[in-house]
């Protein structure tokens, strides 16, 4: 497919927007080191696996052409829907086809892919090309949690995903609302810090404004809601497994309480919220239909109007809340660092060195700062320097608050559960949630889930899984301390 | 017919094999290798984390006997097939009757009705997901007009509605196929015979049973067989609409096998499932075919 | 008989037929409308049925970005495999009918190949294709679609060929035609309707395959159903692109049905040769 013409077009429009264009390379940065070292591979082509949609616009329109100019190495982007990426990676590995050089890996799938031998250990490369220092400057939560498997580096954390709260400042600051809320609940109307407050505030707005505005609306489709469940379960003190026996303890009282609370909350959310994913919640928030939502960082940028007029974002409805959007941590203050991406090198690559260098260059201080500011990008700030960038903080009036909230979330966030065959454990949660929305008894669902997990653990091997679980649980942001 | 055919003896010995050779070759190439590979893999131990290619006995087969989720999937698939197939057949037959005789715009109308069959099941699934969306889809809106108040059915989430939702998409897409084949078959029914029967005063049921049914039966059998086999392996429509949910309520054999092979990479176990499914189907279909062949 | 085609019965039948056609057509119209709606209209409540001003930008984007190539890929793989399956399949069906090659066993074995759920053999085929270098190639998909459609073609053509009186062929052979000439000059014209009807469906099956295209392609020969699923993103769902890409896949089918219907209808009246 000839997409070259398209590159030119969007690159120009993006330039006009004033975001792109390489800034002068710092003399000793990891980016320029990577470029220098990569020049010996001029003429090579790297196959890069990316999530289909907006994500690949970065390597296709921005970093890819730039890298080719600098090094003469061509970047060939291969797109895949996000739920197919693991499949494609494993398929290529099992067939030993060397189809991909650079991979995007969802961090909680790192153990599976690393244990399967699909990923190249990166420690030696990091030392050889002087990347240790800049790698260390990645926000600690991503650096410490989304990079290593049992002490070995397999991925460069490259995406600061975190589920934070967005709310309608105008509704929260309205004096009439404040007075009425104080009357009813006896405390000040403000973004909720507990789930109980969340329910009270949500109900309050729904009572007053529905059906025009509902108190909240958010990720409820099982594939997304599972992250919110994982977060709340741990915030409320739940543990996924018994550390001694590795038996699942997800069906504890905590789990039951959360299931019941989630069902109850749906009452003050818009009808049909059970099937809301990212896009539905996002649209409802843009349209001003909901007072609060919890979602991934792009919501906060796009709803504020950042990137408006960009060709790649023309599918987004007009935002009506650009001037009134507020940012906060979700109730409990420990947001889920849901999904995310790490850059990895495929063990089957014929060109590992060049692949690593491209990843290092993309991930470096200098280049990553530009990437996270691409208006259409889905890469969210993940370096301390991103949060503090003056350039970024002036992108729109509340950009500073946005970045501060993301930074706070990055400090306290909780990482996704990550085990051997993580996907099957997550599938269990997904199925449990879809049964919950379907009206099954919460305790039965949770008991079934625990049974399902135990059977899985038994088959994988209790000791084997326990080792991986304890490795995960020992990470600083696995459980709240 | 056999005796007549043999009367046509020419360079028969060469041709009788030469003519089938290309087809058999292609089918074998794609059909035989996977079959052998499946059989071999299913008694080894290959997972995402490693490949032990030594003989492991039949432990994966033992496991599938105890795999409730597999049996549920088989049950769902069976249910799906035995519900959808008769609906499609009956609707297809009624439609064929409607269009059997001259009608203004007949060809245009038939072309329109055929459209669902020619679009991809992936597209059909996406379309119905849009149609059945609780909020942005027209189905709940239309139902709302009929009952006179807002309808808020969560078609793909509520366990009571998810099967009707999936069936609606399936029946919508494949009834036209039945319709087309039955229309062709009905057009072939001898009209003189029908008129003669009418003159003799035979009731519609008798006419159907004595004249129409025998005439269209061979075609119906083939149509049912083809659709039946398609239904047994249904994947795309359900995948786009529910991914097998809520829970595993709409998980079919194909969806479960896909999950095992391409998400969990339990290669040996999924091979055992595949081999087992192929075995069951082979026995069933060959039994069915033999009956049909004899009945002819 | 004629009473069905006159008077109020005709009007009633016509009304009913139109209603049925509307029911079957409506979802496709909805899809087409989605592809032309503005982002606000897609997420409007209550739903907007007809976009105020048709918005063709999704189609333009598909062509400009090269996504529309997926339709071409579908066309090549489905088209070539249909031709191959029809040629091989018709010859085989003829042999099975006239020579009773392999007896019932061959016929039953062939149809039994169609009942294998694709997912069951997908992984071994994937491995086979990797070793043959056929992943992400036209040849790979074409061979596969040919193989998977052959049983259907053979069974359908077998039915049609059985209905041809053998006397016709005999007299042609007495006139000095070879067997292959008989197939071309006597058999093919007589089964023409059925032949094209079968070809149309063979094309459709290949055109609409998702699973194999998903597993066996990466970027070069991605077909349109796979392309459609690429628009379901984790943090973006391009409904208008899904609608537009789907319509690009549906439109050629509309043309096929529109132009080939002549043959399909002729296929329906094939019983004439029986008399």
Mind listing the pLDDT tens digit for each residue in A261-315? 999 999 999 988 998 989 889 999 999 999 999 999 999 999 999 988 888 888 8
Is the ipTM here above 0.95? no
Q: What Å distances lie between residue A177 and A21, A60, A167, A188, B170, CA to CA? A: 46, 48, 14, 10, 50
Contact B268, B47 (CB under 8 A): yes
User: What are residue A168's DSSP bridge partners?
Assistant: A325
Chains that touch B (3 or more CB pairs under 8 A): A, C
Which tens digits make up the pLDDT trace of A18-34? 444 344 444 468 999 99
Distance CA A395, CA A382 (A): 17
Strand A336-337 to A414-415 pairing: parallel
Contact A12, A311 (CB under 8 A): no
CB contact (8 A) between residue A437 and residue B247: no
Model confidence at C263, in pLDDT bands (50, 70, 90)?
A: low
Distance CA A107, CA A157 (A): 8
Within its chain, how far is the Cα of A203 from the centroid? 28
Residue A217, helix vs strand vs coil: coil
Output the six-digit token pair for A132.
């240790």
Output the pLDDT for position C262. 65
Q: Which among B161, B296, B169 has a CA at the least distance from the CA of B231? A: B169
Phi/psi for A293 (5° steps) reads -150, 160
Nearest to C124 among B33, B113, B128 (CB): B33
Helices C138-162 & C188-208 angle (0-180, nearest 10) = 140
Distance CA A311, CA A10 (A): 7
pLDDT at C118 over 80: yes
The single residue listed with the structure tokens 């097939």 is: B81
Q: Is B115 on the interface with C (CB under 8 A)?
A: yes
Q: Which residue has the higher pLDDT, A389 or A6?
A: A389
Radius of gyration of chain A (CA): 23
Q: Which residue has the higher pLDDT, A285 or B51?
A: A285
CB contact (8 A) between residue A99 and residue C218: yes
Q: Which residue has the higher pLDDT, C93 or C163?
A: C93
Which tens digits make up the pLDDT trace of B147-183? 988 888 889 888 889 999 999 999 999 998 889 888 8
CB contact (8 A) between residue A5 and residue C135: no
Output the six-digit token pair for B28.
């074998």
Output the pLDDT for position A4. 38
List the A325-328 sheet strands across, edge first: A214-216, A290-295, A164-168, A325-328
Q: Is B37 on the interface with C (CB under 8 A)?
A: yes
Average pLDDT rounded to a whole number, residues A339-351: 95
CB contact (8 A) between residue B289 and residue C156: no
Chains that touch A (3 or more CB pairs under 8 A): B, C
Closest-CA residue of C relative to B191 is C1
CB contact (8 A) between residue A437 and residue B156: no
Phi/psi for A220 (5° steps) reads -125, -20
Closest-CA residue of A relative to C36 is A315
Q: Is B30 on the interface with C (CB under 8 A)?
A: yes
Q: What Å distances lie between residue B161 and A248, B81, B152, B164, CA to CA? A: 32, 17, 12, 5
DSSP string, B113-142: HHHHHHS-HHHHHHHHHHHT-TTTSHHHHH
Output the pLDDT for position C200. 82
Output the pLDDT for position A444. 97
Contact B165, B128 (CB under 8 A): yes
The single residue listed with the structure tokens 């993940």 is: A382
Phi/psi for A45 (5° steps) reads -125, 135
Distance from A449 to chain B by nearest Cα, in Å?
11
Q: Which among A411, A458, A452, A472 has a CA at the least distance from the CA of A160? A: A411
Q: How many CB atoms lie within 10 A of CB A342?
A: 25
Distance CA B166, CA A271 (A): 22
CB contact (8 A) between residue C39 and residue A279: no
Chains that touch C (3 or more CB pairs under 8 A): A, B
The single residue listed with the structure tokens 């909780």 is: A414
DSSP string, C160-203: HHHTS-HHHHHHHHHTT--HHHHIIIIIHHHHHHHHHHHHHHHH
CB contact (8 A) between residue A437 and residue B135: no
Nearest to A94 among B156, B159, B265 (CB): B265
CB contact (8 A) between residue A278 and residue C235: yes
User: What are residue B47's DSSP bridge partners?
Assistant: B50
Q: Is C229 on the interface with B (CB under 8 A)?
A: yes
Q: What Å distances lie between residue C88 and A264, B12, C92, C93, C161, CA to CA? A: 62, 18, 6, 9, 15
Q: What Å distances lie between residue B105 and B108, C13, C262, CA to CA? A: 5, 12, 14
Output the pLDDT for position C264. 59
Q: What is the mean pLDDT of chain A?
A: 91
Q: Residue A414, exposed/middle/buried by CB under 10 A (0-12, 13-18, 19+)?
A: buried
Output the pLDDT for position C147. 92
Collect all residues of chain A within an 8 Å Cβ-Cβ radius of residue B271.
none
Of A170-179, A281-290, A382-391, C230-239, minimum mean pLDDT range: C230-239
Nearest to A434 among B152, B247, B265 (CB): B247
pTM: 0.88
Q: Is B135 on the interface with C (CB under 8 A)?
A: yes
Collect all residues of chain B within an 8 Å Cβ-Cβ radius of residue C207.
118, 120
Collect all residues of chain B within an 8 Å Cβ-Cβ radius of residue A434.
157, 245-247
Collect all residues of chain C within an 8 Å Cβ-Cβ radius of residue B273.
120
Phi/psi for A166 (5° steps) reads -120, 135
Output the pLDDT for position C3. 64
Phi/psi for A291 (5° steps) reads -85, -30
């Amino acid at each position: 497919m000839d997409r070259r013409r398209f590159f030119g077009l969007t690159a120009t429009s993006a330039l006009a927007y004033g975001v792109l264009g390489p800034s002068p390379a710092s003399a000793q940065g990891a980016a320029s080191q990577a470029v220098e070292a990569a020049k010996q591979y001029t003429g090579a082509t790297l196959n890069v696996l990316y999530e289909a949609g907006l994500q690949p616009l970065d390597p296709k329109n921005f970093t890819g052409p730039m890298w080719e100019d600098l090094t003469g190495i061509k970047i060939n982007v291969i797109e895949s829907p996000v739920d197919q990426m693991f499949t494609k990676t494993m398929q290529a590995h099992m067939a030993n086809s060397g189809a991909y050089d650079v991979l995007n890996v969802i961090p909680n799938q790192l153990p599976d892919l690393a244990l399967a031998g699909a990923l190249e250990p990166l420690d030696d490369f990091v030392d050889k090309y002087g990347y240790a220092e800049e790698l260390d400057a990645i926000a600690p939560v991503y650096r410490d949690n989304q990079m290593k498997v049992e002490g070995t580096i397999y991925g460069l954390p490259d995406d600061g995903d975190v589920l934070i709260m967005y709310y309608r400042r105008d509704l929260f600051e309205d004096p009439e609302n404040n007075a009425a809320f104080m009357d009813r609940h006896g405390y000040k109307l403000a973004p909720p810090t507990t789930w109980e407050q969340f329910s009270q505030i949500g109900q309050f707005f729904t009572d007053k404004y529905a059906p025009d505005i509902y108190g909240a609306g958010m990720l409820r489709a099982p594939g997304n809601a599972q992250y919110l469940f994982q977060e709340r379960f741990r915030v409320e003190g739940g543990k996924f497994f018994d550390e001694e026996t590795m038996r699942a303890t997800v069906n504890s009282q905590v789990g039951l309480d959360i299931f019941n609370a989630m069902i109850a909350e749906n009452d003050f959310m818009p009808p049909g919220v059970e099937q809301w994913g990212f896009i539905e919640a996002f649209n409802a928030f843009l349209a001003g239909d909901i007072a609060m939502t919890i979602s991934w960082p792009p919501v906060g940028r796009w709803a504020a109007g950042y990137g408006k007029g960009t060709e790649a974002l023309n599918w987004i409805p007009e935002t009506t809340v650009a001037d009134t959007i507020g940012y906060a941590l979700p109730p409990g203050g420990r947001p889920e660092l849901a999904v995310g991406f790490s850059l990895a090198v495929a063990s089957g690559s014929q060109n590992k060195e060049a692949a690593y260098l491209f990843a290092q260059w993309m991930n470096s201080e200098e280049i990553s700062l530009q990437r996270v500011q691409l208006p259409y990008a889905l890469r969210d700030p993940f370096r301390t320097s991103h949060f503090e960038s003056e350039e970024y903080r002036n992108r729109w009036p509340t950009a500073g608050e946005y970045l501060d909230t993301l930074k706070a979330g990055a400090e306290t966030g909780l990482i996704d559960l990550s085990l051997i065959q993580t996907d099957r454990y997550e599938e269990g949660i997904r199925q449990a949630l879809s049964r919950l929305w379907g009206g099954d008894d919460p305790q039965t669902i949770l008991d079934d889930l625990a049974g399902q997990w135990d059977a899985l653990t038994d088959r994988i091997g209790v000791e084997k899984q326990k080792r991986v679980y304890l490795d995960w649980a020992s990470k600083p942001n696995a459980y709240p301390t | 017919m056999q005796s007549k055919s043999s009367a046509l003896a020419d360079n028969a010995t060469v041709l009788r094999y030469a003519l089938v050779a290309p087809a058999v070759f292609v089918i074998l190439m794609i059909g035989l290798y996977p079959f052998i590979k499946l059989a071999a893999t299913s008694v080894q131990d290959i997972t995402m984390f490693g490949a032990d290619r030594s003989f492991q006995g039949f432990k994966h087969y033992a496991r599938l006997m105890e795999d409730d989720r597999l049996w549920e999937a088989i049950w769902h698939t069976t249910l799906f097939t035995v519900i959808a197939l008769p609906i499609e057949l009956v609707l297809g037959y009624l439609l064929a009757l409607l269009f059997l005789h001259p009608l203004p715009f007949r060809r245009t109308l038939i072309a329109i009705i055929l459209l669902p069959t020619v679009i991809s099941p992936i597209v059909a699934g996406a379309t119905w997901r849009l149609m059945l969306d609780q909020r942005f889809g027209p189905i709940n809106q239309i139902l709302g007009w009929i009952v006179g108040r807002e309808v808020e059915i969560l078609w793909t989430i509520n366990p009571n509605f998810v099967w009707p939702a999936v069936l609606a998409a399936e029946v919508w897409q494949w009834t036209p196929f039945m319709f087309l084949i039955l229309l062709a078959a009905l057009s072939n029914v001898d009209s003189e015979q029908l008129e003669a029967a009418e003159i003799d005063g035979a009731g519609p049921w008798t006419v159907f049973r004595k004249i129409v049914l025998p005439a269209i039966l061979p075609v119906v059998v083939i149509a049912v067989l083809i659709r039946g086999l398609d239904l047994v392996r249904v994947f795309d429509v359900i995948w786009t609409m529910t991914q097998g949910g809520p829970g595993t309520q709409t998980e079919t054999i194909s969806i479960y096998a896909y999950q095992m092979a391409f998400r969990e990479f339990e290669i040996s176990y999924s091979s055992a499932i595949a081999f087992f499914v192929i075995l069951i189907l082979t026995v069933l279909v060959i039994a069915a075919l033999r009956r049909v062949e004899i009945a002819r | 008989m004629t009473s069905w085609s006159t008077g109020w019965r005709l009007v009633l039948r016509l009304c009913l037929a139109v209603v049925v056609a509307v029911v079957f057509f409506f979802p496709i119209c909805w899809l087409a409308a989605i592809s032309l709606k503005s982002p606000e209209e897609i997420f409007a409540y209550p739903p907007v049925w007809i976009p105020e001003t048709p918005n063709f930008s999704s189609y333009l984007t598909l062509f400009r970005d090269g996504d529309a190539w997926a339709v071409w890929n579908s066309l090549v793989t489905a088209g070539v495999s249909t031709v191959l399956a029809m040629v091989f399949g018709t010859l085989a069906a003829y042999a099975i009918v006239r020579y009773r090659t392999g007896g019932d066993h061959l016929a039953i074995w062939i149809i039994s190949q169609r009942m294998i759920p694709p997912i069951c053999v997908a992984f071994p085929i994937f491995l086979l294709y990797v070793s043959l270098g056929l992943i992400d190639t036209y040849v790979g998909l074409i061979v596969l679609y040919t193989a998977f459609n052959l049983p259907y073609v053979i069974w359908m053509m077998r039915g049609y060929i059985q209905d041809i009186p053998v006397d016709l062929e005999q007299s042609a052979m007495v006139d000095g035609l070879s067997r292959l000439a008989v197939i071309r000059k006597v058999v093919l014209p007589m089964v023409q309707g059925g032949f094209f009807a079968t070809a149309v469906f063979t094309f459709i099956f290949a055109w609409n395959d998702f699973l194999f295209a998903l597993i066996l392609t990466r970027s070069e020969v991605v077909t349109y159903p796979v392309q459609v699923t690429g628009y379901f993103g984790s943090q973006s769902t391009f409904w208008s692109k899904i609608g537009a890409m789907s319509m690009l896949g549906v439109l050629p089918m509309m043309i096929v049905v529109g132009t080939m219907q002549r043959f399909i209808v002729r296929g329906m009246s094939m019983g004439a040769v029986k008399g």
